[in-house]
Amino acid sequence: MHHELDRATTDFVASVSHELRTPLTSIVGYVEILADEDAGPLNPEQRRLLAAVERNGQRLLALIDDLLVLSRIEAGTLRLARAPFDLAALVASARQAVLPGLAGRALAIEVDVPEALGPLEGDAGQLERVLLNLLSNAMKFSPEGSAITVRAWREGGQVHVAVADEGIGIPFEEQSRLFERFFRSSLARERSIQGTGLGLAISKGIVERHGGTIAVDSKPGKGSTFTITLPLGAPR
Ligand SMILES: Nc1ncnc2c1ncn2[C@@H]1O[C@H](COP(=O)(O)OP(=O)(O)O)[C@@H](O)[C@H]1O
Ligand SMILES: [Mg+2]
């Protein structure tokens, strides 16, 4: 379509992200020093206020990071490592990373990923980003007392990884737009569930750069399953 314009926009977003990142990193760093009381003791009210500054600073950093990655994906300039990786270890690591988000919630993540499903190769760091997105979505859109499962299996020369939840689901007519940047479903907006709508666009870009696909199967009120399919690749 407007390829030239898209490219210019993408370059612009990439530079702006860089420029925002540096001062914000510094701000968050100073806030952490204050919060750790390295600059003197705080009263409870000051601690509460600083915690809010820190939390929102981290959110902004994550948003900038997402914008940067997405702009690189769209410009075709995201550099991917290519190395053999172990899917079971990757899933375990992603699960570990989201565990703090389960604190105080009646929500469990069950994992059923056999050892040595591969051989797989690619950028384990970026693929972990995809799993983190899918897991954090599942957690965000799930009610208390429900289950989230991660399963993986090998079929037809490919490896499939499915993240399933029993959450609010996505209306059928919106499912085709889910992987567009900034798209958020009517259910997410109605319930004021936080988000930017960048995670799935990024996930799709990363998976496709690995020669794979990502798909959704969902019913409102019943739950959603996101399935990634990756080609088997022999490590050299
Ligand atoms: N597991 C899920 N259950 C229900 N809705 C989901 C799920 N995952 C994604 N969605 C819908 O897709 C939208 C886009 O997801 P994403 O790109 O990760 O953005 P964000 O998480 O920032 O809202 C979400 O806002 C939500 O409407
Ligand atoms: Mg998300």
**pLDDT one-digit tens code per residue, 7-18:** 777 788 888 988
- Closest by CA to 113, choosing from 131, 99, 98, 130, is 131
How high is the pLDDT of residue 194? 85
Q: What is the pLDDT of residues 139-175, one digit of tens each?
A: 999 999 999 999 999 998 999 999 999 999 999 999 9
How many angstroms does the Cα of residue 129 sit away from the middle of ligand 2?
A: 11
Q: Ligand 1, closest atom to CA 142? A: 3
pLDDT, residue 124, reads 96
Task: Check residue 235 and give its pLDDT.
Answer: 47
> Can you list the residues of the chain whose pLDDT is less than 70?
1-5, 234-236
Pocket of ligand 1 from Cβ distances under 6 Å: 133, 137-138, 141, 165, 167-170, 178, 183-185, 188, 195-201, 224
What does pTM read for this prediction?
0.89
Alpha-carbon span 228 to 99, nearest angstrom: 22
> Which residues have CB atoms below 5 A from the ion given as ligand 2?
137, 199
Residue 3: what pLDDT?
A: 61
- Decide: helix, strand or coil at residue 83: strand
Per the CB < 8 A criterion, the answer to whether 185 and 174 are in contact is: yes
Find the 194 Cα to ligand 1 centroid distance in Å: 10
Residue 236 is predicted with a pLDDT of 43
| Three-state secondary-structure class, residue 63 | helix
